Amino acid sequence: MNVSVPCEAAPNEARVALVPETVAKLVKAGAAVKVARGAGERAAFPDELYVQAGASIADDSAALLSDADLVVCVGRPSDQLLASMPKNAALLALLAPLGEPEYVKKLADAGITALSMDAIPRITRAQSMDALSSQSNIAGYKAVLLGALALPKFLPMLTTAAGTIPPAKVLILGAGVAGLQAIATARRLGAVVSAYDTRAVVKEQVQSLGATFLEIDLGVDAQAAGGYAKELTPEQLEKQRRFMVDAIGASDVVITTALVPGRPAPVLITEEAVAAMKPGSVIVDLAAEAGGNCALTQRDRTVTSPNGVQIVGQTNLPSTMPYHASQLYSRNVHALLGVLVKHNALALDMDDEIVRGTTIVHQGRIVHQPTLDALAGAAS
């Protein structure tokens, strides 16, 4: 099997899809790996390390893709790379099919097989392959650091000769993987932490990390299949927003992580809630890429509200820690290939829940049912 690793297409993407550690394992298993020159440099993996791991370095797309059986990326590849892929090749990347179902038609038109790392079912057997979780872990950690950097206060309590400084109050909205990591990081830095989630099942996890779980009766447990949060009704959202104004207003740092797959991010922090916060307070919105959980969020910008609250809308936080983000993503890919590859060749068993859930396009035909449903809904 010939595996190719291109440079990432997005200009702000510093991650690389396979690191030398994983390349060495693939080569040992019989694969031939080609890596585009400089593909890992921004993640601190120079070409020499890939050569030492057994890969060859390709200087152009023709050399990289001419005999590729599998192309592995982090994000969506460029249109040029997609057009250059052999028709019988497979693409593996974070393709976000539900975020933009029309994009999947482009993959189908290319005549390839496309598998998405963010469509892997959240089942026990697939935990080692779950790239969404590995990257969200990093985002939750980095969000706290961004909040601490922007906050004009200490996070921990300090007792000094000049008096005692009280600890900062940090509120985490959404207790998924990113939220739980944010809780743990803020606690390690000495903040007083509270958290809110519509899914009652996460209360114990929040409390086990030393945070206070905020509760509001919405009349429903908003946990959907696979452990994700499901979309609330307008009435439930309004009740939730009213409840959150006081909690948000009392916080020094608020980190929002609430996402619903394939939907715009729910607005949890209204302008009224921002106005209730003290000057110098900070909101770090991890849902900025999906529109934001804060009404004032602007994607990839930090804005200041009229009352002096900073709203950080930076996206793709895992790419700001590219070494470990790449390492974890690469391990996720390697674990998935253990299911996809038989006898050193791709062998997609559609009866396998993981393979069926991950395969978006097979030999030029859209086969991912949630994507087909989204396309049908858009057409009706």
> Could you give the residue numbers annotated as active site?
122, 127, 130, 133, 228
> Alpha helix locations (H) across 47-176?
47-53, 61-65, 79-84, 101-109, 131-150
- Contacts of residue 374, defined as CB under 8 A and 6 or more positions apart, other chains included, come to 97, 98, 101, 262
Whether the CA torsion 91, 355, 328, 103 is positive or negative: it is: positive
Lookup: tokens for 251: 């916080």
Strand partners, 294: 269
Lookup: tokens for 271: 């302008």
How many other CB atoms sit within 10 Å of the CB of residue 378? Answer: 9
d(CA 311, CA 95): 28
d(CA 115, CA 207): 37
Lookup: tokens for 212: 């206070």
- Helix 20-28, helix 322-340: angle, nearest 10: 20
